[in-house]
Chains A and B, each alone.
Chain A
Amino acid sequence: MPDRPEASVFLERRSYRRRRLLDGLKLLPFVAAWLFMLPLLWPDGGAHSATSQSMSSALIYVFSVWFVMIVIGGALIAAQKKVSLKGKQDASEEPDP
């Protein structure tokens, strides 16, 4: 058996966090696309106005999703920057924790 299998298979905490944040960034457009396509499943308006969505709720839905996605996107990037910045500082201060 190798001496330290953990070193090659598992990442230390910070790199792990950075990678998961990156996963989030990669996934974001697909989640957003899915949410933006959701209105297609709503019942159509027209004659059956009783069952159809009102414009205001559609408006609120679309803009909320949009807004939340922007916030998540910004937060992910900020978090990632913070993690890598912290990583750099830590690396320079204490080489091997």
Chain B
Amino acid sequence: MTSLNGLVLVCLTYVAFLFLVAFAAERAAARGQGGWLRAPIIYTLSLSIYCTAWTFYGAVGYAARSGMEFVTIYLGPSLVMFGWWWILRKLVRIGRAQGVTSIADLISSRFGKSNSLAIFVTAMAVIGVTPYIALQLQSVTLSLSVFAAADASTTFDRSTAAFWVAFGLAIFTLLFGTRSLNTHERQHGIVIAIAVEAVVKLVALLAVGIFVVWGLAGGVSEMMTRIDTSEIGQWQTDRARWVTLTLLAGIAFLCLPRMFQVMVVENDDDRQLELASWLFPGYLLLMSLFVVPIAVMGLEMSPGANPDLYVLTLPLTLGQDELAVLAFLGGFSSATSMVIVASLALATMVSNHVVLPIWLARQETQAASVSGDVRDVVMLSRRVSVGLIIGLGYLYYQFSGGSEALAAMGLISFAGVAQFLPAMLGGIFWRGASRLGALAGLSVGFGIWVWTLLLPSFGAGGVLPDTVLTQGPWGITWLRPEALFGFEGMDRLVHAVWWSLSLNFIAFWVVSMFTFPKPLERLQGAQMVNVLDNAPATQSWSATAAEAEDLLIMAQRLLGSEEARALFRDEAIKQGLEGELAEPTPAFLQRLERELAASVGVATAHAMVGQIIGGPGISVEDLIAVADESAQILEHSSQLETKSAELTRTARQLKDANTKLTQLSVQKDAFLSQISHELRTPMTSIRAFSEILRDTQDLSLPDQTRYSSIIHDEAIRLTRLLDDLLDLSVLENGQVTLNRATGTLKTIIDRAVQAAQPVGVDPLIIMRTPDAEDIPLETDLDRLTQVFINLIANARKYCNADDPELTISVTETTGRIVVDFIDNGQGIPEGDQMVIFEKFSRLGDNDGSGAGLGLAICAEIMERLGGRISYLHRSSGTGFRVEVTKAQALAAQ
């Protein structure tokens, strides 16, 4: 018989062996010979921490109690592995791309690097995994008690034993796991130790199984007959439990913190996953292959014993001591590997998401860059967390009485961590998932889990009084923990799982639909959902060179002096710089943040870099605000541009006007001297001739007549000048009265031609198109005639061609009649075109025959008549266009 002390010695030797293996692996990795450590087979074996003491001892007990149902716990994960292409591929890709350190980190990172979410998930994980750790303690304690019962030399107290087991496991974990800070640097030592333990527990279980089938039963067919004749010889399964447990095991496989650690955080490439996708189900198959035979044989040979311990008691009762010790080692392996990885994963979460943020917040604002090593804080908090978590497991074990079946305890844990699923899967597949949605789903699911499964697991009168279980809290029957909403008679686990998961999912979905995620959430969401499309990184920082030193100091505190320097040097070389200090470019800052995230988690790393860069760095909100602002600036500048163009236009107009004014002023001066000259010339001759008439007595009659007619002519000229001035002033003041009459255009032009061209003597040839002129109109005919006369007279007077010619053409367009007067002269210089319609403007030579009022009068008249007169720029000679509105023309018809 193996003594208890001997057993402890075996355990210690085994642990020492594991240490050696882990140490050797880390040495090899440090020497750069660790390539084989990343072999897919090692990865597959490390996944075996799914198989804990629950599998090793509990599965047999489970089979002895409920038959084949135990196998669902392994079918679920097998299905997940078979379907690696759907979920796991994406999950490990995200894990690698984002430097995720734990499931809390993944969820918080997905939902905008939210620390509140990380804390919540961490708390849930700690509470959810506690029963699981208690399970390991219980199994090791139970297995020890089996040997103790056979060893009369020692007294064995379970409670003390459980304490020492917990203590031993905590020390073991601390020694193993909290040496390297960077959880993202693969923990080669631990991984290789787990792989070794995977082999040990598989070999141990297979050995017991082979012993049972071939050693006890005498072969496969005999074993089958025994199975069929045993208590569990019939296929008897609660169908709801079968489905629920398969589903739950699959979900837990994804969500358990320790599984996430080995599956996602420790993953190096897709090849590992490819191998594990079929090899790991194979491992599970082998682990469960002999469960039923062992259970059947145990039931047959030692009825009344604890079925959870058949693996041990069968060899022991048959005197197979070596086999029993091997089995014990297998169970011990299962328990230790689970406790190490689970408590480390949880401790990382606790220190990264709870302790470090609180510690950082308590420091001054510039805490991240003052001297001192944050690594000490991180390490201390991790060590304390490990102790705390294992301590919680011990308390749960003590509190729940240590009496429950192992499988029942494990399933409570499964249901607890399964609550992460909607947030996790929703986060990586659905861009619409929002932080508030995740919080809502997690709290609803977790709340229901605590109420319907965790609290009742302490038994009636444990935590919940008996009345609450039977009548509901405050007598509200539909809130009874085991019959929510009045659905009675369901299996407790099925009831809890379906309600918590479905309400969790609904809350997550509905709240996500009705909330609007923050920009960072949306960016992270897009990055994670599209991770397989190799979406580029989004986060951006900006820093000045002055901050590079602070960044280095901070990095040294987290990564260690050498590593940080190496990182900065490497980056400096990449940037083509001399020296050790890399420029803090956005790309480098992002790399740095990712490196730090591997040590302290995404949210904390973000906050720490943010502290140095100042504020939260350039957050996406800022970017978007900036984008808004620049859009406004753009708009503003385009407005300015418009305004400036307008101003330029106005200035040009003003300049034009000014030129015009200056020109006019000059012309006005010229005109004033002109008009005084004009007025004086006839006045002078009138005075002179009237004086001659008056003073000369003997003037011949012809002379008298000649002088009188000169006086008369001059008087007429004066009158005409005064008439014009008067006319213009009347027209300008709007005092003119129009005498509307009907006539045709033809008669008007006829009259104008006659009036302007004394018969016979004139060299001006007037070309007309009489047919087109036959248009009736109603207007002030005399005024219109006056305009035409003026134009014809101008042509006659100023056309300097050898054979002067004037073409009068009439066109009728919609709404108006256009009459063009175009001569074959040289036209009006462009500079003068602007002023020809102004008063007193006279062009070029002045023979004193006009006062420069004609065209001004014409323009005024046409305005009064509702038409318009303009200079024809494109005509060959001097051309004027008179437009008469047709409304007047039609009205005449």
Residues 28-62 of chain B, each 1 if its beta carbon lies under 8 Å from chain A, else 0: 00000000000000000000000000000000000
A66 and B83 in contact, given A37-B243, A45-B234 (Cβ under 8 angstroms): no
Among the stretches B74-82, B258-266, B393-401, the one at the interface with A is: B74-82
- B277 near A46 with CB under 8 A, answer no
| SS class, residues of chain A in contact with chain B | helix
- Which B209-233 residues have C-beta < 8 A from chain A? 224-225, 227-228, 230, 232-233
A55 and B242 in contact, given A32-B78, A66-B78, A73-B281 (Cβ under 8 angstroms): no
A56 and B82 in contact, given A70-B282, A74-B278, A77-B277 (Cβ under 8 angstroms): no
How far is A81 from B274 in the complex, measured between Cα atoms in Å? Answer: 10
A55 and B232 in contact, given A26-B86, A32-B78, A77-B274 (Cβ under 8 angstroms): yes
Among the stretches A2-10, A12-20, A57-65, A85-93, the one at the interface with B is: A57-65
| Residue B71 lies at the interface, judged by CB distance under 8 Å to chain A | yes
| Residue B279 lies at the interface, judged by CB distance under 8 Å to chain A | yes
| Residue B599 lies at the interface, judged by CB distance under 8 Å to chain A | no
| Residue B437 lies at the interface, judged by CB distance under 8 Å to chain A | no
> Of the candidates A40, A55, A69, which one forms a contact with B281 in the assembled complex, judged by CB atoms under 8 Å apart?
A69
A70 and B281 in contact, given A25-B85, A36-B75 (Cβ under 8 angstroms): yes
> Of the candidates A36, A39, A63, which one forms a contact with B235 in the assembled complex, judged by CB atoms under 8 Å apart?
A39
B79 contacts across to A, CB distance below 8 A:
29, 32-33, 36
> Of the candidates B230, B233, B285, which one forms a contact with A66 in the assembled complex, judged by CB atoms under 8 Å apart?
B285
B67 contacts across to A, CB distance below 8 A:
55
What residue in chain B is nearest A56 (Cβ atoms)?
B224
| SS class, residues of chain B in contact with chain A | helix
What residue in chain B is nearest A32 (Cβ atoms)?
B82
| Residue B239 lies at the interface, judged by CB distance under 8 Å to chain A | yes
How far is A53 from B236 in the complex, measured between Cα atoms in Å? Answer: 8
- Which B52-109 residues have C-beta < 8 A from chain A? 67-68, 71, 75, 78-80, 82-83, 85-86
B214, chain A: closest CB distance, angstroms: 17
| Residue B545 lies at the interface, judged by CB distance under 8 Å to chain A | no
- B243 near A40 with CB under 8 A, answer yes
How far is A45 from B228 in the complex, measured between Cα atoms in Å? Answer: 12
- B278 near A70 with CB under 8 A, answer yes
A53 contacts across to B, CB distance below 8 A:
234-235
A33 contacts across to B, CB distance below 8 A:
79, 246
Residues 18-57 of chain A, each 1 if its beta carbon lies under 8 Å from chain B, else 0: 0000100110111011001101101011100100111111
What residue in chain B is nearest A49 (Cβ atoms)?
B234
B848, chain A: closest CB distance, angstroms: 86
- B224 near A70 with CB under 8 A, answer no
B227 contacts across to A, CB distance below 8 A:
55-56, 59
Interface centre among B230, B233, B246 (most CB of A within 10 A): B233
- B289 near A54 with CB under 8 A, answer no
A66 and B234 in contact, given A29-B83, A40-B242, A56-B224 (Cβ under 8 angstroms): no
| Residue B292 lies at the interface, judged by CB distance under 8 Å to chain A | yes
- Which B482-503 residues have C-beta < 8 A from chain A? none
B881, chain A: closest CB distance, angstroms: 60
> Of the candidates A25, A55, A70, A73, which one forms a contact with B233 in the assembled complex, judged by CB atoms under 8 Å apart?
A55
- A36 near B246 with CB under 8 A, answer yes
How far is A81 from B275 in the complex, measured between Cα atoms in Å? Answer: 11
What residue in chain B is nearest A31 (Cβ atoms)?
B82
> Of the candidates B82, B242, B292, which one forms a contact with A59 in the assembled complex, judged by CB atoms under 8 Å apart?
B292
- B236 near A62 with CB under 8 A, answer no
Interface centre among A42, A53, A55 (most CB of B within 10 A): A55
How far is A36 from B73 in the complex, measured between Cα atoms in Å? Answer: 12
A58 contacts across to B, CB distance below 8 A:
68, 235
B224, chain A: closest CB distance, angstroms: 4
A55 contacts across to B, CB distance below 8 A:
67-68, 227-228, 230, 232-235, 292
Interface centre among B68, B225, B278 (most CB of A within 10 A): B278
A63 and B75 in contact, given A58-B68, A73-B82 (Cβ under 8 angstroms): no
- B68 near A44 with CB under 8 A, answer no
> Of the candidates A40, A66, A67, A71, which one forms a contact with B75 in the assembled complex, judged by CB atoms under 8 Å apart?
A66
- B285 near A74 with CB under 8 A, answer no
Residues 282-304 of chain B, each 1 if its beta carbon lies under 8 Å from chain A, else 0: 10010001001000000000000
What residue in chain B is nearest A54 (Cβ atoms)?
B228
| Residue B237 lies at the interface, judged by CB distance under 8 Å to chain A | yes
A22 contacts across to B, CB distance below 8 A:
85
A52 contacts across to B, CB distance below 8 A:
234-236
- A46 near B289 with CB under 8 A, answer no
What residue in chain B is nearest A57 (Cβ atoms)?
B235
- A26 near B85 with CB under 8 A, answer yes
- B78 near A69 with CB under 8 A, answer yes
How far is A54 from B237 in the complex, measured between Cα atoms in Å? Answer: 12
How far is A53 from B83 in the complex, measured between Cα atoms in Å? Answer: 29
A54 contacts across to B, CB distance below 8 A:
228, 233-235
A28, chain B: closest CB distance, angstroms: 5
How far is A44 from B274 in the complex, measured between Cα atoms in Å? Answer: 38
How far is A28 from B85 in the complex, measured between Cα atoms in Å? Answer: 10
What residue in chain A is nearest B237 (Cβ atoms)?
A39
B239 contacts across to A, CB distance below 8 A:
40
A35, chain B: closest CB distance, angstroms: 10
B78 contacts across to A, CB distance below 8 A:
32, 66, 69
How far is A29 from B278 in the complex, measured between Cα atoms in Å? Answer: 11
- B235 near A73 with CB under 8 A, answer no
What residue in chain A is nearest B274 (Cβ atoms)?
A77
> Of the candidates B71, B83, B85, B228, which one forms a contact with A62 in the assembled complex, judged by CB atoms under 8 Å apart?
B71
B235 contacts across to A, CB distance below 8 A:
39, 42, 44-45, 52-55, 57-58
B228 contacts across to A, CB distance below 8 A:
54-56
What residue in chain B is nearest A81 (Cβ atoms)?
B274
- Which B90-142 residues have C-beta < 8 A from chain A? none
A32 contacts across to B, CB distance below 8 A:
78-79, 82
- B237 near A77 with CB under 8 A, answer no
Residues 238-267 of chain B, each 1 if its beta carbon lies under 8 Å from chain A, else 0: 010011001000000000000000000000
B75 contacts across to A, CB distance below 8 A:
36, 62, 66
How far is A63 from B236 in the complex, measured between Cα atoms in Å? Answer: 17
What residue in chain A is nearest B284 (Cβ atoms)?
A66
B277, chain A: closest CB distance, angstroms: 6
How far is A93 from B534 in the complex, measured between Cα atoms in Å? Answer: 29
A71 contacts across to B, CB distance below 8 A:
278
A63 contacts across to B, CB distance below 8 A:
285, 289
Residues 75-97 of chain A, each 1 if its beta carbon lies under 8 Å from chain B, else 0: 00100010000000000000000
A77 contacts across to B, CB distance below 8 A:
274-275, 277-278
Residues 813-842 of chain B, each 1 if its beta carbon lies under 8 Å from chain A, else 0: 000000000000000000000000000000
How far is A40 from B72 in the complex, measured between Cα atoms in Å? Answer: 12
How far is A49 from B282 in the complex, measured between Cα atoms in Å? Answer: 32
B285 contacts across to A, CB distance below 8 A:
63, 66-67, 70
A26 contacts across to B, CB distance below 8 A:
85-86
How far is A30 from B275 in the complex, measured between Cα atoms in Å? Answer: 19
Interface centre among A39, A56, A77 (most CB of B within 10 A): A56
B398, chain A: closest CB distance, angstroms: 37
What residue in chain A is nearest B232 (Cβ atoms)?
A55
How far is A70 from B78 in the complex, measured between Cα atoms in Å? Answer: 9
How far is A77 from B271 in the complex, measured between Cα atoms in Å? Answer: 10
How far is A26 from B275 in the complex, measured between Cα atoms in Å? Answer: 16
- A59 near B68 with CB under 8 A, answer yes
A46 and B85 in contact, given A55-B227, A63-B285 (Cβ under 8 angstroms): no
Residues of A within 8 A of B (CB): 22, 25-26, 28-30, 32-33, 36-37, 39-40, 42, 44-46, 49, 52-59, 62-63, 66-67, 69-71, 73-74, 77, 81
Given A52-B234, A70-B278, 13 further pairs, Cβ under 8 A: A26-B85, A29-B79, A29-B86, A37-B242, A54-B235, A55-B67, A55-B68, A57-B235, A59-B68, A66-B75, A66-B281, A70-B285, A73-B281
In the assembled complex, 5 residue pairs joining A and B whose CB atoms fall closer than 8 Å, in A order, are: A45-B234, A45-B235, A54-B228, A66-B78, A70-B279
Q: Shortest 10 CB-CB distances between A and B: which pairs?
A: A29-B83, A45-B234, A53-B235, A73-B278, A74-B278, A45-B236, A56-B224, A29-B82, A58-B235, A54-B228
